[in-house]
Amino acid sequence: MAPIFVAASAFGADTVSARGQDAFITILKDAQADGIEIRRELIGEPEPALARLRDAVARSGLQAVYSVPAEMWRADGTWNEREMETAYDEAERVGAFLLKVSLGRFDPARSDVEALGRLIASGPIVVTVENDQTERGGTIEMLSRFFRACRERNVPVKMTFDIGNWHWTGEEPAIAAARLSEHVAYIHCKHAEQRGDAWTALALPNDAKASWREVLSALPQHVPLAIEYPIQGDDLRESARREIERLRLLAYSESKEA
């Protein structure tokens, strides 16, 4: 059965910033999660927050993913060396097994994927690119070109597949899953619904005909699944427990049918 993670951002930026992400590690341990996605944008100054988070992760026995809102490739297509090295270093310091970043402006003619290969080879952390909500980093074609270039140069980068984000870029999630499944190491689970002119992240619907079922069945069955939609309530521990159990049951029923 796939491990179930929860992104710290699911509890709301204001709540997490006020209480600290280490407090939510304890909550998620009690709620029977398998891991937490620690968000760099909710840390503030990394010292001493990273050490505190690492200790909390180690005590809990949970696994950790480290998410950084940084892009691999600058506007001119060159390697974003400083930000990527910093992100990798922080992921190590927090005890994460997987780092999630965005693609940026990858240019097959200018972008040095071998520089990415050297970063990956520097340690044990799995480096993933997420399909974000931008045209430059969240379309099937751009990501396919990137992974093709990495495969040609034997760069073992992986993908965080966000089921909901494809709607922000006008892409079809099922087509994306069919094209990119072989690269996927981590899955963000959320539904997207358009309200007015904006898309909103929601929990996966229980509907037997919901489109996410086709998408999830086309993706690897045993990689971690992460809740990245709002978890709310007076008792966040109980709210988290219910959502974790619900996703676990949904994913299990889908894997049985696949």
Nearest CA among 86, 77, 89, 84 for reference residue 101: 84
Handedness of CA 243, 247, 248, 249 (dihedral sign): positive
CA 206 to chain centre: 22
**CB distance 223 to 186 below 8 Å:** yes
Q: Mind listing the pLDDT tens digit for each residue in 231-258?
A: 999 999 999 999 999 999 888 666 656 5
Q: Mind listing the pLDDT tens digit for each residue in 160-176?
A: 999 999 999 999 999 99
Q: How far apart, in whole angstroms, are the C-alpha atoms of residue 35 and residue 137? A: 26
Q: How far apart, in whole angstroms, are the C-alpha atoms of residue 228 and residue 196? A: 21
Q: Mind listing the pLDDT tens digit for each residue in 11-26?
A: 999 999 889 999 999 9
Number of domains in the chain: 1
Helix/strand/coil percent split, the chain, to 5: 45, 20, 30
Range of the domain at 196: 4-257
CATH assignment at residue 160: 3.20.20.150
**The pTM of the whole model exceeds 0.85:** yes
The whole-number pLDDT of residue 164 equals 93
**CB distance 237 to 31 below 8 Å:** yes
Instruction: Say which amino acid occupies 19.
Output: R
Q: In whole angstroms, how large is the CA radius of gyration of the chain?
A: 18
**CB distance 202 to 191 below 8 Å:** yes
Give CA separation, 25 vs 16, 29, 75, 217, 227, in Å: 11, 6, 36, 29, 14
Q: Mind listing the pLDDT tens digit for each residue in 86-116?
A: 999 999 999 999 999 999 999 999 999 999 9
Q: How far apart, in whole angstroms, are the C-alpha atoms of residue 190 and residue 163? A: 6
Q: How far apart, in whole angstroms, are the C-alpha atoms of residue 126 and residue 130? A: 13
The whole-number pLDDT of residue 257 equals 61
